[in-house]
Amino acid sequence: MKKLDQALSDLSLTPNQKKQMTKAGALVYKESLRSNMNNSLHKGKYSRETKVKLEDDIGIRYKVEDGATYVGFKSTTGHSGYIARILNDGYAAHGGKGAKAHKTRIISGLHFQEKSLVESKSMILAAEAKKYRELTGD
């Protein structure tokens, strides 16, 4: 029984090691998110006049207790991360002056977060597995 307990404890990582492993995957996701966000923002005549640089608001947080790593948008003072949840919804744009020029255009939602998750899932797992092997010496 003692050998089994020792073998199981050798397999499990400490919270600090888990943090290092999940951080490797989080960095991959963060880069994918930044890339997809920049490529999917609306451009052209009906785009937003006020430009918001959400790529500067992507942040990484760590949970000390279990080593989890989270990637998300900063919504604190000076950051506009709260806008990320609005961007994905899509909306009906109304424009023009006067009844004849007034047209409704449906602006599709920006699903860069979902796209980033789907595209980078295997790369995230590969980065975490590589880090795991480094940490365990396998």
- Domain containing 106: what range? 15-136
Determine, yes or no, domain membership for 19: yes
Determine, yes or no, domain membership for 30: yes
The total number of structural domains that make up the chain: 1
Q: pLDDT truncated to tens, each residue of the chain (138 aa)?
A: 678 777 766 667 888 888 999 999 999 999 998 888 766 665 655 555 555 677 778 888 888 788 888 988 887 777 777 777 666 666 676 666 666 666 766 767 667 788 888 899 999 999 999 999 998 887
pLDDT of residue 88: 61
The answer to whether 96 and 103 have CB atoms below 8 angstroms apart is: yes
What is the sign, positive or negative, of the torsion defined by CA atoms of 40, 44, 45, 50? positive
DSSP assigned state of 58: E
Q: Tell me the CA distances in angstroms from 113 to 28, 84, 109, 130, 132, one per residue in order.
A: 13, 9, 11, 24, 26
Determine, yes or no, domain membership for 37: yes
pLDDT of residue 9: 67
Determine, yes or no, domain membership for 10: no
pLDDT of residue 42: 59
Global model pTM greater than 0.85: no
Determine, yes or no, domain membership for 2: no
